[in-house]
Amino acid sequence: MGDLSRYLDLEDGSNQVLDWSTRVSIINGIAKGIRYLHSIEEKKPAIIHRRISVEKVLLDQQVNPLIADSGLAKLLADDIVFSTIKISAAMGYLAPEYVTTGLFTEKCDIYSFGVIILQILSGKQLLSNSMRLAAECCRYNDFIDTSLQGNFSESEAAKLAKIALACTDELPDQRPTMKEVIQELNLSNAGS
């Protein structure tokens, strides 16, 4: 079905609009994928993706997400990595601390995940400060994708916005771990 970016910034009346439950399912799937990357298991070290974005989230025929290109940044030439990092920064996926430290951490991936949640909720690739403020204030009409025509759960929207805002906190130490994110998502799903 392509990457997640194909389902953002759609024209009115598009037949590609993802319904609410599909969006929630995609967010849950991405969270589990990042959690797997970050986990340390037998014969698998923890992996920091470095370039998570809607273009790197592939959707299969059942609209299950798959995170592509994990770890490939380490194998690419520096100039290619640098150009993809510039694109990531321009799209808002790059965590603020990377600019000052030059180091990628799990918290950088979590920041990118928070941006993706906001993109999925809003249906927009480029996020504005007013959208973030609307999410903080739970003004759903100002940040939830209008293509949904009001067909969404306000309680889930509030929970997902809260998670997204925590993930995109300016201070990396204030961001949750993916384990904590998944626990919050599971609490959200249990209440649905």
Q: What is the pLDDT of residue 189?
A: 59
* Ranges in the chain, pLDDT < 70: 70-91, 188-192
CA distances 111 to 11, 43, 166, Å, are 28, 27, 9
Helix (H) or strand (E) holding 160: helix 154-167
96 contacts: CB under 8 Å, gap ≥ 6 = 111, 170
Nearest partner of 87 among 181, 5, 154, 160, judged by Cα: 5
pTM: 0.85
pLDDT of residue 140: 87
Taking the domains of the chain in order of start, what are their residue ranges?
2-190
Pick the CATH number of 2-190 from 1.10.510.10, 3.40.50.2300, 3.40.50.720, 3.40.50.150: 1.10.510.10
